[in-house]
A and B are shown apart, each in its own frame.
Chain A
Amino acid sequence: MTMRVLTAVLRTVRDSRRLATGLVILALMVLLALFSPLIVHAIGNGHDPLELAAYEKWLVPSGDHILGTDQFGRDVLAMVVSAMSVSLQIGAIAGVISTVVGVIVAFVAGYKGGWVDGVLSTFTGILLVIPTFPLLIALSAYAKNVSLFRVGVMISIFSWPFAAKTIRSQVLSLRSRPYVDLARVSKARDLEIIGTELLPNLLPFIGVGFASSALGAIFGLVGLEVIGLGPGGVIDLGQIIFNAINTGALTLGAWPMFVVPIVLLTLLFAALNMVNIGLEEVYNPRLRGVAGE
């Protein structure tokens, strides 16, 4: 079974240039995040570049500080690198939780059908129409000084219904395929059918669900931070943008403080979007060439 899943993944990546590009950008960013402690250490050259008053404040970009320093004299490059790692971790945590919950709900609803499906789908639909942002802001107002993992869990509460909806529609279309009926007739157990017949074919949609949830979570946290309501103790890219707006970096001409986080996040969103569209193209041949090749 694992072999089948692996070959499915490899075939998918080989088939789409866009998907490959998105994954390469993501991989590079993840590498950067993994090595962020080392990079920060190297920038500090023996002491901590993220300490308050480590250097002069508001230094302009130069050879010593490629992106300058902030209002507390911290090195902006070191801040940005470690903040990006935080943003990616939040995306990964929330993405995994939403996808797992979404997959379970979608399978139970789509595979069992009947009133179970009716109840679950109606509930998912109800959660989908509640605007998440006000709820998220309200929730975070009480989440002072929570750990990074808890923030991820908090955000995933709001992003699983979307994943569930995407995957459920696919389960429904696959459920009625002849080979699934064949498996049923041959007395295969439900779990067996799900594992060997359905899961490999659903992988791209699970991938889309994951990428969308991760994107939503990262954006959600950035949004909270930018209006100054983010959970304390978690410094992500949004927090740096918030600091830039609030300390007057806009008027002081300290552009790296908000331009670099914005560029990084844009690159991240672009990569996740390429993965999404790439996966859709691979599994929906009619869309191929939509890319303009």
Chain B
Amino acid sequence: MTATAPPAEAVEITAKSAARSGLRAWLSRHPLAAYALRRFGLYLVELWGALTVAFFFFRLIPGDPVRTLIQTLQQNYIYNQQASTEVIARYQHEFGLDGNIFTQYLKYMNKLILHGDLGPSLINYPTPAQNVILHSLPWTIGLLGISAVLAWVLGIIIGAVAGWRRGKAGSAIITNLSIALSHVPFFFVALILVYIFAYTLGMLPARSAYDSNISPGLSLDFIGSVLKYGLLPGLSIVVIGAFGWILSTRMLMVPVLGEDYLTYAEAKGLKPWRILTRYALRNCYLPQVTAFGISLGFIFNGNVLVEQLFNYPGLGTTLVTAIQQLDFNTILGVTDMAIFSVLTAVLLLDLLLPLLDPRVKYWK
């Protein structure tokens, strides 16, 4: 019996027929399925709630994107000075700003859920906002994804060794460093690195994602350029990110180190490395994978600044540009995407954990 989430229609059907005793009985015999259903229901409620809060938040902030757009048009082309009410009404309709806020809300949710359509963007009018977002996504996923995985792997390895050799000189230094630096914003390190390597030594580029003289493609030149330009922003994420993982790995591992089964493993004459990976770290794997999945959803909070600093053409830079120009559709789109990814990651982990870890109780 696997705990995969049923499709949405199935949830509706169960809701309707929950009164029927047959299903009730079946669910009480299959606690895992009941848990999965309940968990999926909560997921839908949270998703709807978060999307709704985000929508109203942005709609209630003052600011008129349509007027901004018309001003831009007037500046760029010689547009007639008085935008006619007809033109304004058409744009308002296009941006989903006509009617009162509740009809706007219903229309927005309808378009978003049924067509994945966020409406036109302002920073790149008339390109739809979802295309603007998709265009900048690969850079963010590439740079941040690789850096985040590297930080996580490094953090677990270093944290495990530091926990294993606790009381030794190097271990205390590493731990105290992690405590001091694990909450430092990424862009502090980024700034210092830029100052040293880009301005003082002139070794590495400080802006953009690749050399503009090289045309993007699958050539060695281009890939090399991408790596070279991504080195500094990536490094600043890896360094600070790793400290956080070192700390949490230690915290998970140290309480286990005094346990009898470790002494027994040692007495059996197993090699230290094997004891470390198979016995001592056993308790860290699941929580750390869970934490990693959740942390991926929150990549927007610190990384906007790093991307902005390096002028990296990713999601963070797009977001800041969108905010500076009141491009609500794009801002809301990025926010919605973040919400969806966090909630989905947590849902998948919650559904998989009972299958992987016998200690997790799902019939709360």
Interface residues of A (CB under 8 A from B): 18, 122-123, 125-127, 129-135, 137-139, 141-142, 215, 219, 222-223, 226-227, 229, 241, 245, 250-251, 253, 255, 258-259, 262, 265-266, 269-270, 272-274, 277, 286-287, 289-293
Contacts and interface: CB of A to CB of B under 8 A. Distances in A.
What secondary structure prevails in chain A residues at the interface with B?
Answer: helix
Contacts of B50: 126-127, 129-130
Among all A-B residue pairs, the 7 with the closest Cβ atoms: A292-B172, A270-B180, A126-B49, A292-B175, A286-B255, A131-B338, A269-B183
What secondary structure prevails in chain B residues at the interface with A?
Answer: helix
Interface stretch (B22-30, B214-222, B303-311): B303-311
Interface stretch (B5-13, B51-59, B95-103, B146-154): B51-59
Given A139-B61, A289-B254, A255 B300 contact: no
B180 A227 contact: no
Contact of B185 (A123, A219, A227, A253): A219
Nearest to B168: A292
Contacts of A277: 179, 247
A135 B335 contact: yes
B288 interface: no
Size band of the interface chain B makes with A: 35 or more
Contacts of B326: 141
Contact of A138 (B180, B251, B297, B331): B331
Contacts, number: 147
Contact of A262 (B58, B191, B319): B191
Contact of B250 (A122, A269, A290): A290
Contacts of B319: 134, 137
Interface in B195-213: 195, 199-200
Nearest to A223: B305
Given A245-B309, A273-B179, A290-B250, 16 more contacts: A18-B179, A126-B53, A129-B342, A131-B338, A133-B301, A135-B57, A137-B319, A137-B323, A139-B61, A222-B185, A255-B195, A266-B188, A273-B183, A290-B175, A292-B166, A292-B171
Contact of B192 (A131, A133, A259): A259
B181 A266 contact: yes
Given A129-B46, A133-B300, A134-B331, A292 B191 contact: no
